[in-house]
Amino acid sequence: MTRRTLLGTAAAAGMAAAASRWGSGTDATALAAPALRRGGTLKIAETGEPPTLDTVITMAVTTAQITLPVYEQLFAFDASSRAQPCLVSGYTVSKDGLTYTFTLRRNVPFHNGKVMGEDDVVASLNRWGRVSPLGSSVYQHVDSVSGSAGGTVVMKMKTPFAPLLAYLAWPNGPAAIMPKEVADTAGSQPLRQIIGTGPYKFAEWAPDRYVHLTRFDQFAARTEPASGYAGRKDALADEIFYYPVSQAATRIAGVQSGTYDIADGVEHDSYPMLADDPRVEVGILLGNSIFFFLNQKQGMMVNPKMRQAVATVLDMKPIMQATFGSPNLYSLDPSIYEKGTPWYTEAGASLYNLHDAEKAKALAKAAGYSGQPIRWLTTQEYEWDFKTSVVASAQMQQAGFKVDLQVMDWASVLDRRSRPADWDMFVTQHGFAPDPALITVFNSAYPGWWDTPTKDALFAQFNDEPDQAKRVQLWAKLQGLLYQEVPLIRTGGFARLMLSRKGLVGFKPSLFLITWNVQAVK
Nearest-CA neighbor of 405 among 380, 435, 441?
380
Nearest-CA neighbor of 236 among 1, 521, 518, 522?
518
| pLDDT confidence of residue 24 | 36
What's the rounded Cα separation, in Å, for the pair 365 and 359? 10
Q: Are 113 and 103 in contact (CB under 8 A)?
A: no
| pLDDT confidence of residue 32 | 40
Q: Are 313 and 395 in contact (CB under 8 A)?
A: yes
Domains by residue range for the chain, with CATH: 71-185 (3.90.76.10), 286-496 (3.10.105.10)
| pLDDT confidence of residue 12 | 30
The alpha-carbon radius of gyration of the chain (Å, integer) is: 22
| pLDDT confidence of residue 150 | 83
Instruction: Report which residue type is found at 415.
Output: D
Nearest-CA neighbor of 127 among 62, 178, 78?
178
What's the rounded Cα separation, in Å, for the pair 113 and 115? 6
User: Using the 8-state DSSP alphabet, how is residue 13 labeled?
Assistant: T
pTM above 0.95, yes or no: no
What's the rounded Cα separation, in Å, for the pair 282 and 515? 16
| pLDDT confidence of residue 152 | 97
Residues contacting residue 289 through CB under 8 Å, at least 6 positions apart: 336, 429, 430, 490, 491, 492, 493, 494
With residue 134 as reference, give the H or E element that holds it.
Answer: helix 133-139
The CA dihedral of 271, 273, 276, 282, to the nearest 10 degrees, is -30
- Pairing type for strands 41-46 and 200-206 reads unpaired
Q: Are 306 and 485 in contact (CB under 8 A)?
A: no
Query: Which burial class, exposed, middle or buried, applies to 259 when counting CB atoms under 10 A from its CB (0-12, 13-18, 19+)?
Result: middle
Q: Which residues of the chain have pLDDT under 50?
A: 1-34
- DSSP per residue over 37-86, as a string? ----EEEEEESS--S-S-TTT---HHHHHHHTTT---SEEE-TTS-EEES
| pLDDT confidence of residue 327 | 85
Burial 290-300 (b: 16+ CB within 10 A, else e): bbbbbbbeebb
Axis-axis angle for helices 383-398, 316-324 (nearest 10): 150
Question: H helices of 292-356, where?
Answer: 304-313, 316-324
The count of C-alpha atoms lying within 13 angstroms of the C-alpha of 468, restricted to the half-sphere facing its C-beta, is 3
